[in-house]
Chains A and B, each alone.
Chain A
Amino acid sequence: MTAHPAATEHAHEHPGIGTYVKVGLFLFVLTAAEVAVYEIGYNSAGSAFGSILHPVVVPVLLALSAVKFALVAMFYMHLKQDSRLFSSVFVFPLMIAAVIILALIGLFAYHYSFQKLIH
């Protein structure tokens, strides 16, 4: 049996060390940004920039986290270069996981608000 042509077509060369280091440094900068957002948004909320940042701390942290997640998956786990089948096997459960998290948060928010209403 020979290798499936469509599969081998997508099995490209992994990136070099230079790309890995650049991604690593960017990940480090993003982590520093996360901590800075936390410090400014919560601990310096009285300052001008802090007051602007305070209401959006959670979405900003989630966005930074999503970028870091994607960078590691694409470059270090080689999903950008490897077969799309690997991406599918990873992304499909990831989507189910996201739905589970959102559904449970929604359900429990409804449960707690309903409890408050009847008490």
Chain B
Amino acid sequence: MSHAAHALDPHALEHPTSTGLDSRKLAIWTFIGSECLFFASLISTYLVYRGKSLVGPFPHEAWTSPAGQHFEPILEIKLVTVGTALLLFSSLFVVIALNGAQRARRGQFLTFLGLTIMCGIFFVGMQVYEFTHFVHEGLKLQTNLFGASFFTLTGFHGTHVTIGVIWLITMFILGVRGKVPPAKSLNLEMAALYWHFVDVVWIVIFPVVYLMK
């Protein structure tokens, strides 16, 4: 294989394995599989405690405390819908960025990776605003079962998004410095797989937490 052809082959740096698959890709899939169990435990906890809070604020119902303080339903569906749409589009952008990286289209790779990062940052910003708003409205981690399970579930998801954004920024910097040639595009593919996983977790969390009463 010539040097130029070697540089364009995404699998040129793979080590030979008994399965014929790259061990790094198998490792990220195994990690994602373990993360499924992690989020299953958090989603289970949220569902088990759903509707069991003794005091408000509540997600979908207004509540007046014994002291006469009134609380409106706390969830902001419109804001979170925008965040959800952006997270979905970020999955589209990162897969187009990967397509560019695999075909040595540097402009496509960097533009769409940049868009993905911006969507991720907006999503984290949306979540920070939401959490701050909830605390101001009187819902904290220790307020009720809804607060405890909601902040734990969405907080861990937000942490995963933040880690994903940092990973993608790292790939962007490496891309700008010309260190993500097609032969090393698997590095971006692994980051993209993690990012898609974060997206599919939100695909479950969005209806379960925000849309189901």
Contacts and interface: CB of A to CB of B under 8 A. Distances in A.
Contact of B211 (A2, A34, A93): A34
Given A35-B77, A86-B26, A108-B48, A1 B96 contact: no
A94 B211 CA distance: 22
A96 B41 CA distance: 11
B77 A69 contact: no
A contact patch SS: helix
A56 interface: no
Contacts of A105: 44, 47-48
Contacts of A75: 95
B47 to A, nearest CB: 6
Nearest to B212: A58
Given A68-B203, A76-B92, A101-B43, A57 B212 contact: yes
B contact patch SS: helix
Q: How large is the interface on B (under 10, 10 to 19, 20 to 34, 35 or more residues)?
A: 35 or more
B62 to A, nearest CB: 14
Contact of A42 (B45, B81, B204, B213): B213
A38 B102 CA distance: 40
Interface string A1-44: 11111111001001011001101100110010011011000100
Interface of B: 16-21, 25-26, 29-30, 32-34, 36-37, 39-41, 43-45, 47-48, 52, 60, 77, 81, 84-85, 88-89, 91-92, 94-96, 99, 102, 192-193, 196-197, 199-200, 203-204, 206-208, 211-213
6 contacts: A20-B96, A31-B85, A34-B207, A101-B43, A104-B47, A105-B44
